[in-house]
Amino acid sequence: MEYIKGTKEFTSSPCVVVLGNFDGIHIGHRKLICKALQLSRELGLKSLVLTFDPHPSFVLANKEPVDLIYLRCEKERILKDIDVFVEYPYDLNTAKMTPENFVEKVIAGQLNAKYVVVGKDYRFGHKRKGDIGLLEKLSSIYDYKLVTIDKIEYNGNIVSSTWIRKEIKEGNISLANELLGANFSIKGKVVEGKKNGKRFLYPTANIIPHRYKILPPNGVYYSHIYVNNQKYHSITNIGINPTLNGQQKVVETHILDFDEDIYGETVIVELIEFIRKEKKFNSIDELKQEITNNINYVTELIRKHED
């Protein structure tokens, strides 16, 4: 995948363009992406995803981009089949562009779009005045075809990033994963902790989560971890380790049947199922007993799944 960021000075060969903010790439977004991939294969065109960086709300409302389901580095993994991923700089000049101007200059001009794939409610340009009606109207002038995709529903409700954020915050990881069409994941570098794991408890690979990343409530989750592209079953605690008077929020993963030094490695932790809330125990022994119970539960879960 070619990745274009931080510049407006680029052009593309004829392509199928997918437009969207793709805050949390969910089953609705995946449908757009699949359609674009299918068209690009059939027609021998490049597939290109265009989003904005920073998020428009950061520039327009001066809001910090908090509670991100995917950080940029995490999106690349999901968009791996796409040929080109563009993060178009969203500054005050971009915000001022009329929708007509954006289509002429960027979509038809720079991107050389032959197909434009968007959700039915896609809005763009100054004050979000552009919509699919305008994209359709301009398609004959700029010689592209418009493909619109209906909003996807799950149990009668329209799937949205806002809904998924709510489920993640409430700890409903299994449902969030259904809506994402993938397991919610946290990517980061394994850092050194206080070494209490190996000494008194179980070793855990520690990641300090990015301050913009959304996280579920502090607690213990059945997880998968990818180390050097190899997948392992694991159990993850998200929290501050109150029993050992910790202060900082850490994502800590104990990998089952594993005994390697992975400090400094970039890993991906996927959360699969909520097990329990994080608690302050009266002693390290009590904490260890509970962690052992949790590991046994996960081992049993994996065994049942493999039967």
Ligand X SMILES: Cc1cc2nc3c(=O)[nH]c(=O)nc-3n(C[C@H](O)[C@H](O)[C@H](O)COP(=O)(O)O)c2cc1C
Ligand Y SMILES: Nc1ncnc2c1ncn2[C@@H]1O[C@H](COP(=O)(O)OP(=O)(O)O)[C@@H](O)[C@H]1O
Q: Please state the closest distance from residue 276 (CB atom) to ligand X, in A.
A: 7
Task: Rule CB under 6 A: say whether 303 interacts with ligand X.
Answer: no
Supply 144's token pair. Answer: 């592209």
Return the number of the residue (119 or 188) whose C-beta is nearest ligand Y.
188
Supply 221's token pair. Answer: 């989750």
- Give the list of residues 6+ apart from residue 262 with CB closer than 8 angstroms, or none: 190, 205, 227
Using CB under 6 A, pick the residue from 36, 106, 116, 201 that binds ligand X. 201
Contact indicator for 91, 59 with CB cutoff of 8 Å: yes
182: left (phi over 0), alpha (psi -120 to 50) or beta: beta
Interface residues toward ligand Y, by CB under 6 A: 190, 192-195, 197-198, 203-206, 254-255, 258-263
Single-letter amino acid code for the residue at 292: T
Return the number of the residue (27 or 295) whose C-beta is nearest ligand Y.
295
136 a catalytic residue: no
Q: Please state the closest distance from residue 164 (CB atom) to ligand X, in A.
A: 25
Other CB atoms within 10 Å distance of the CB of residue 306 = 6
Task: Rule CB under 6 A: say whether 112 interacts with ligand X.
Answer: no
Contact indicator for 240, 248 with CB cutoff of 8 Å: yes
Please identify which of the residues 87, 252, 286, 300 carries the catalytic annotation.
Answer: 252
Return the number of the residue (185 or 237) whose C-beta is nearest ligand X.
237
Residues numbered 171 to 200 that lie near ligand X (CB under 6 A) are 193-197
Task: Rule CB under 6 A: say whether 237 interacts with ligand X.
Answer: yes
Q: Candidates 1-9, 137-145, 146-154, 286-294 — which segment interacts with ligand X by CB under 6 A?
A: 286-294
Burial class (CB in 10 A: 0-12, 13-18, 19+), 44: exposed
- 118/15 Cα distance (integer angstroms): 14
Q: Applying CB under 6 A, which residues contact ligand X?
A: 193-197, 201-202, 204, 206, 220, 235, 237, 241-244, 252, 254, 278-280, 287, 291, 294
Give the residue numbers annotated as catalytic, written as ranges: 252
